A and B are shown apart, each in its own frame.
Chain A
Amino acid sequence: GENVEQHPSTLSVQEGDSAVIKCTYSDSASNYFPWYKQELGKRPQLIIDIRSNVGEKKDQRIAVTLNKTAKHFSLHITETQPEDSAVYFCAASKSGGSYIPTFGRGTSLIVHP
């Protein structure tokens, strides 16, 4: 089955800095890569996603890049704010059958004011 590795497990930045979280996946058939933000005790919320026919996607301060050859994808947050502090999960899934996403272990992002 799919295996998703996520790094780092914790990331501490100063407000205004950029943050980058990286994930790798094992199944070359995976073609959908969502990113979820989860605040303590709350539900995972989809913040951005990318499909395998696209190399990069941007939404305001958030961007995701995908390298299909290397089987890795990254989340980039610019101009971080304290409210960006949360656990971020990457995931991978494949269409045309089971859509069950496999999650990475999560990155705890702390943005210091």
Chain B
Amino acid sequence: AAGVIQSPRHLIKEKRETATLKCYPIPRHDTVYWYQQGPGQDPQFLISFYEKMQSDKGSIPDRFSAQQFSDYHSELNMGSLELGDSALYFCASSFPSTDVLTFGAGSRLTVL
């Protein structure tokens, strides 16, 4: 069965650079969620999209932005990277009007 696809799996950037993470949800899932997980931490909700519109906003920094496109894939754009942005970034998706999330394999961002 198709899963949530994230790319790239690993990314290394310098401070103040930008990065873009991509997420392809499971087919027919209309809601996408982005989470950030630091080492030894629980996943922190960043932002979510429903039917290509932003639906909820969590602890996403102003330096970051995200969107969901017409094919339901989503991109997380991260500007002016800081050392503290080094983390695993998970995307999850869900069926319409359900609360069961399926997570992607994650993108590991390292900021040097």
Residue in contact with A89 in the complex, picked from B43, B45, B106, B108, CB distance below 8 Å: B43
Contact A93 B90 (CB under 8 A): no
Contact A46 B45 (CB under 8 A): no
**Chain B window 7-19, contacts with chain A (Cβ cutoff 8 Å), 1 for yes, 0 for no:** 0000000000000
A36 CA to B42 CA, complexed, in Å: 11
Residue count of chain B within 8 Å CB distance of chain A: 23
Of the stretches A12-20, A64-72, A97-105, the one at the interface is A97-105
**A99 — which chain B residues lie within 8 A by C-beta?**
31, 94, 98-99, 101
- Count of chain A to chain B residue pairs whose CB atoms are closer than 8 Å in the complex: 50
Which A84-113 residues have C-beta < 8 A from chain B?
Answer: 89, 93, 95, 98-106
- B56 vs chain A, min Cβ distance (A): 5
Contact A95 B90 (CB under 8 A): no
| Shortest Cβ-Cβ A-B pairs, 7 listed | A99-B99, A43-B103, A103-B42, A32-B99, A98-B56, A44-B103, A105-B42
Sample (23) of A-B pairs whose CB atoms are under 8 Å apart? A34-B100, A36-B103, A41-B106, A42-B105, A42-B106, A43-B90, A43-B103, A44-B90, A49-B100, A93-B99, A95-B99, A98-B55, A98-B56, A99-B98, A99-B99, A100-B33, A100-B48, A101-B45, A101-B101, A103-B42, A105-B42, A106-B41, A106-B42
